[in-house]
Amino acid sequence: MPRRRAQAEFARRAQERASLRPAHRAHVATAALGAACFALEDAFPTLPFIHTTWHLLSAVGVAATGALVADCEAYPRKQG
């Protein structure tokens, strides 16, 4: 059985469990804002604090995946 990608697994589990939805929303929002900051930095390289903001958003997005790890440990999937 092929392994699932973390993003797809996070979305699927968030649909199943309401307790994961806030963390998933935060993860998706910070990913979208981070992508916008990445594009802004390319378009306006002298704009202050964009790179810093991108790093902060990335940190929040990665931290939100802790909820997925906790859910996977609490509710392991059956293999096979």
pTM of the predicted model over 0.85: no
Return the closest-CA partner of residue 65 out of 24, 13, 11, 15: 24
pLDDT tens-digit series, residues 44-64? 999 999 999 999 999 999 999
pLDDT value, residue 77: 73
DSSP H helical segments within 44-65, as ranges? 50-64
Q: Which of 4, 7, 50, 54 is nearest to 27 (CA)?
A: 7
- What is d(CA 2, CA 4) in angstroms, rounded to the nearest whole number? 6
Model confidence at 1, in pLDDT bands (50, 70, 90)? very low
Cα separation, 52 vs 1, in Å, equals: 40
Which of 78, 79, 80, 26 minimizes the C-alpha distance to 57? 26
